[in-house]
Amino acid sequence: MIEDTMDWLEPQSEAAFAELLERNASERKWDGIILTGSEITLNRNLPDMARRARDAGFAHVRIQTHGMHLANPAFAQRLIDAGVDEFFISVTAGDHETHDAITGRPGSFEKILAGMAIIDAYDVVIITNTVLTANSFRSAPALVDRLAGLKRLRQMEFWNYWPMAETDRKSLLIRFPDLIPVLKNAIERAHAYGRRVEVKNVPECLLGAYQECLVNDQPELMIDPRFWGEFGRNGFDQCVHRNQCASKQCLGVGTAYAQRFGWEADILAPLTEHNHFNSRENNEKTSYL
């Protein structure tokens, strides 16, 4: 989670973007590029950036967005005409009451749904991302059902909240015994609709038959270098079973979680090569920046 950093992280410069495009044009290092920011659709240069990325050899241009501005049909058309073919849309919760209460924007849930309905008519890929917090996680199965009619929705991602800090000062963490049944229900429903599911920041041993959904890999990131100092506070790769576990994807238990709920040694178990599903082998092969 990169909360509380957007007000001081510096965006990448035009010179850095131009250098990146030139490199890909000559080396074809990446298949796709993800354009993101605090809210990338507020960048007036976004269509031009997408067009330039396509010209530089990127086969796919993805934007990461809250999706509300896609409810403007003309704006959505401009982005698609410019070469945006993948939309990674953050949906905060599965119903408008919960969603709008968290975002503080009345009507935002319905606006996101309207935007997704508009781009669903085009030859694009839609991916949704929902951060599961104490305020939102119980609505995850309802979200899956609410989006059932989308033809272009290929993948749903559920990111368990992981504060970039040593404590859970906002009380947004969920105890694993509360989270897992709800998460499994959402995964089962999504699979029934033919969706691919990716889960992040959940101990792999707790996912049972859905271990293959755990994919903690991330694209190569170009970001303000100061970010990494804060990122180190996440406390990844901590678990009482770390030395015995065969998992290649699990990030363990975060410092903030352990400080609030303990290390959960009684419910976690080390995976062996026999009961471990290597989700890296099943991750999509497209390389993204």
DSSP 237-286: SB-TTGGG---SS--B--HHHHHHH---TTT-----TTT---GGGGS---
Whether pLDDT at 8 is above 70: no
Q: Would you state the pLDDT for residue 288? A: 65
Q: Would you state the pLDDT for residue 277? A: 56
Q: pLDDT band at 260, cuts 50/70/90?
A: very high
Q: How far apart are the first and last CA of the chain?
A: 18
- Range in 114-118, 127-131, 232-236, 263-267 with the lowest mean pLDDT: 232-236
- 178-185: average pLDDT: 99
Whether pLDDT at 78 is above 80: yes
Which residue from 208, 202, 215, 288 is spatially nearest to 253, judged by alpha carbons? 202
For the chain, give the mean pLDDT.
91
- 173-187: average pLDDT: 99
pLDDT tens figures, 184-232: 999 999 999 999 999 999 999 999 999 999 999 988 877 766 665 666 6
- 118-125: average pLDDT: 99
CA distance 226 to 281: 32
- 9-27: average pLDDT: 88
- Token reading at 210: 């859905």
Q: Which CATH class is domain 14-282?
A: alpha beta
